[in-house]
Amino acid sequence: MAIVAMLGVDEARHAYESREGFYAEFPATKIVADTRDQQWARAQRGAAERILFCGNEVLLDAGEPIYYLGSYADFVGPSFSKRHANLPSRGDNREWIAHRGAAYGIEEIEKMIADCAVPPDFERASGRIESLVERHRIDGAALACARALIRHLVWKALLPSVHGARLRQRFAHLFSELGDQEGIDEGLCRRILIEMTSAVPREARKDLNWEVEVAGNVLKRLDELSPQPLEKEDDEALGALGF
């Protein structure tokens, strides 16, 4: 039952009702084909997308496995920090690295290694990411950077200073839409980053320094890596096939 609770599955509860009551809630349907393979494919895809093996840990709903390049530590880890009790967002190495825009996905890091843009021993020291699903998010690392940068922006806006007050006023309409800061909506991320890079009066330029450049770089990565949305018919067809 502990595993069931971790997976977020509702516990079964027995209920006694009449045959008529049952079929009124669950109308009978005629099975015209064997859908076992499709159901199994959906279950496999769902499990592979939710489970992440990282070192000696098995993490659930941890997001994309990504590479973190820090000045003192290079490692592989999940994009979501709060999926483990000992990994709080604030003070976590991955949070500090990601909000500086230095977290990269599989495709990005392969190109960086080929271009010698990372230390020669990075691939050996950090380990290797292996994706078990064909449709993994190639922009997952860029999105993790965007979310971490926005959490940093919120923290900076809450500082009791003139800069903080100006940031609170400037981003108030966007901050009001923030819910769970761990999984900020992708569209909202883009809108906040665009606002961060927009032109501002001279006195407001000091409110954000290096953050503006990082926001621009992360936006560029999101535009380059984000998959184009599928047409509704194509998405439904892939879903029917279990993908």
Q: Are residues 123 and 71 in the same domain?
A: yes
pLDDT at 72 over 90: no
Q: Do residues 163 and 203 lie in contact, with contact meaning Cβ atoms separated by under 8 Å? A: no
For residue 19, is it within any domain? no
106 and 158 inside one domain: no
Helices assigned H by DSSP within 51-105: 93-98
Q: Which of 55-69, 160-174, 226-240 has the lowest mean pLDDT?
A: 226-240
Domain match, 123 and 60 both? yes
pLDDT > 90: what percent of the chain? 26
Task: Note down the domain range covering 182.
Answer: 144-225
- pLDDT at 160 (0 to 100): 93
Q: Which of 134, 167, 182 is the last residue of a domain?
A: 134
Q: Do 180 and 221 lie in a common domain?
A: yes
Examine the fold and report which residue of 89, 110, 134 is the final residue of a domain before the chain moves on.
134
Same domain, 94 and 121: yes
Residues 105 and 159 in one domain: no
Q: What is the mean pLDDT of the chain?
A: 77
* Structural domain contains residue 202: yes
Residues 117 and 170 in one domain: no
Verify that 155 and 98 share a domain, yes or no.
no
How many folded domains does the chain comprise? 2
* pLDDT at 81 exceeding the cut of 70: no
C-beta separation of 178 from 184 below 8 A: yes
| Distance separating alpha carbons of residues 211 and 150, to the nearest angstrom | 10
Average pLDDT over residues 210-224: 93
- Whether the Cβ atoms of residue 76 and residue 126 lie closer than 8 Å to each other: yes
**Rounded CA separation 218/210 (Å):** 12
- Asked if 109 and 155 sit in the same domain, the reply is no
- For residue 223, give Cα distances in angstroms to 31, 105, 143: 44, 14, 11
Predicted confidence band at 177 (pLDDT cuts at 50, 70, 90)? very high
Domain boundary among 109, 134, 159: 134
Specify whether 157 is located in the same domain as 114.
Answer: no
Q: Are residues 107 and 156 in the same domain?
A: no
Q: State the virtual CA torsion across 35, 229, 145, 185 in degrees, nearest 10.
A: -80
- For residue 22, being part of any structural domain is answered with no
The reported pLDDT for the residue numbered 89 is 44
Residue 103 lies in a domain: yes
* Least-confidence region, from 4-13, 48-57, 114-123, 217-226: 4-13
